[in-house]
Chain A
Amino acid sequence: MSSGAEVTCSEVHRTYQMGRQSRLRRLLGRERSVPEVNAIDGVSIEVGRGEFVGLAGPSGSGKTTLLHLIAGLETPTAGTVTVDGVRLDELSSRERTRFRLDTVGVVFQRFHLLGSLSARANVALPLLERGEPKARRRERAANLLEQVGLGDRLAHRPGQLSGGERQRVAVARALATDPSLVVADEPTGELDSETADRVLDALAAVTADRTVVLASHDDRALDRTDRVIELTDAERTRAVPTTDAV
């Protein structure tokens, strides 16, 4: 079992361009200004090993963008993101992909299971990329599905599972490679309250001792975290301080 990762974001900025400069315009020297949006602007946070941290804030405050940066799905426009001493902004795209495989488990709001594969095959997928033997992949996937309460759904395809069951499969998949860091974006966003509780129970059960960063609007989800970091609207507030809340 992993002991959890240490995450540090320091003065992180992430800007998106709204549209693209055409090559023709560039060639003709008739470039026009492309509007930019600051998704996050000067965010600094620290997450200790084994912490379960919630990210809260209104829509547009940059919760998802911050998760992208921590998971290495994107790189900051400025500032640094460090996970266990590794500067993610200095890694190539290929290195970041490998980093995610080894270090990060991701839980999506809309599950995003591969519809043509069984629950067990979905969970085993990251292990396939590692070249693990088939028997070990199957055993590991079955164990994880057992832990999230889906031991009797191994052969079911996503289309044959309920929303809560799908999200629990996604939680099991995020844990397949035994990552030290788990990021979850609105994992209960598409679920009713009872189902959401079951998913959160599963998440808590399998992520003990790991570092978890969870972005959510759902107070019940945030209640389960060790602490909550409140992000304010980046459009309105250019510098967002680290805030311990609740």
Chain B
Amino acid sequence: MIRDRLRRLVGLAGLGVRRVVGRSTGPGGRRTIAGVVGTAVAVALLVSVTGVGVALAADATVLGSDVDYWIVPESGESSVLVASDTPELGSVHDATARIDDGADYATPVLTRPIRMEAGNAQEYVLVVGVIGAPDASNVAGASPQALTPGDPHYANGSYDGPWTGDLVATEGAARVLDVDENDAVTPTGSNRSFTVVNVDRSSGSPTVDLPIVLVHLSELQVLVGADEHDSANQFLVATNDRGVRSELAGLYDGATVETRSSLLAQETVDEGLPLALAIAGLLAALIVGVLFVSVTIGLEVLDQGPELSTMQAMGIGRRSRLLVIGVQTLATAAVGGLLGVALGWLVVFGIDRGIASAVGIPGAAMFHPLLIPYGIGIALVVGLLALPPVLWLVERASSGSRVI
């Protein structure tokens, strides 16, 4: 008995799916295709708007820094790119020495916008002070590996070690300063100078076009007067050892340890714009999707009135008819969701590339893998929300006596 019922349910659900395929490939399938396309457009809208929101949130956090933990002052910003005027951490070289054992790479980070001169060019660039290491992870989208290992000028806090003058420039910085490797760069009004040891042209970094340069931490500290307290804005730590987190938490009172995933989630919520974009995208997708699916499937149901009446006349019960059309509606939405995710990926890709080529700032939109289940899930919600009016129409359209 239960097996018969299960077999019936599976068979009727399969019938609903077959009807979507059959009607969309057969003559007069335009309405089914319109339902699929409508849902696809709505989901693509959702994915692309959310992709922009994710990019906005992510830009302020993890992009460009291949690290796992951030140690930031409690009221500080957690991004390398926006941390130039925030509460700072002190005695950072000593702290680095304490966490070096458990980390693949750990560096304090100090950031300051500084006007630099090179030849005839004078431009503000974001100078990021870090500790060099041959296996250093990217910081702010550039690799510090070309910097002389360690921080020679620090010299145990005396700041009288050798001045390396090493400077790694992003492609954006090299462009605005018009420099290449071995060219000299001088901070305006300073008697110190730097030499470009590498122009990081690694593609794929969202900050590759931003004017950012990496120098040794102590050399930047000296330039901006941060050597007095050996201060920096934050720490970046790359490690596979989860146990390091508790160690990091004990480094500074009043500092917080953030992880890559928590930052992304937190910033998405904290930042008003990405959240607003995500909500707007969701609402637009739901409204547009539900309207499209309910109208197109509703018209289809009216069109299928004789078929539904035939099913009733044959003895196919009300629940079975509702199940067939319900599955048909959900299947239409699900196919639309799949297409919508693919379309959304193309739109996100297009926005990213389009804005990057137009204004030189990449990372305007970002396709996170979670957008795939998100888009399909929302498409199914669209299908579920469209069900009540569709099923109401099924009730109205089914009357066995109409067909004979």
Contact = CB atoms under 8 A, between A and B. Distances in A.
Q: Which range contains the number of B residues in contact with the other chain?
A: 20 to 34
B404 A185 contact: yes
Contacts of A125: 15, 311, 314, 316
Interface string B303-314: 000110111111
A244 to B, nearest CB: 24
A183 B316 CA distance: 17
Contacts of B5: 131
B146 to A, nearest CB: 65
Contacts of B311: 114, 125
Interface string B279-322: 00000000000000000000000000011011111111110100
Contacts of B27: 159
A112 B11 contact: no
Contacts of B7: 131-134
B312 A97 contact: yes
Interface in B312-344: 312-318, 320
A117 B316 CA distance: 16
B242 interface: no
Contacts, number: 108
A167 to B, nearest CB: 13
A130 B317 CA distance: 10
> Could you tell me the dominant secondary structure of chain B's interface residues?
helix
Interface in A73-97: 73-74, 94, 97
B404 A128 contact: no
B150 interface: no
B12 A101 contact: no
A112 B314 CA distance: 11
Given A73-B404, A112-B307, A131-B8, A126 B22 contact: no
A196 interface: no
Contacts of B23: 115-116
Contacts of B21: 116
Interface stretch (A53-61, A103-111, A200-208, A231-239): A103-111
Nearest to B3: A131
Interface of B: 3-8, 11-12, 15, 18-19, 21-23, 26-28, 306-307, 309-318, 320, 400-401, 403-404
20 contacts: A71-B404, A73-B400, A73-B401, A94-B317, A94-B318, A98-B317, A100-B400, A102-B315, A112-B307, A113-B310, A114-B311, A115-B23, A117-B22, A125-B15, A128-B8, A129-B320, A131-B3, A131-B8, A133-B7, A183-B404
Given A94-B317, A129-B317, 19 more contacts: A68-B404, A73-B400, A104-B315, A109-B404, A110-B306, A110-B403, A112-B309, A112-B310, A115-B22, A116-B22, A116-B26, A121-B18, A125-B311, A126-B315, A128-B11, A130-B4, A131-B3, A131-B11, A132-B7
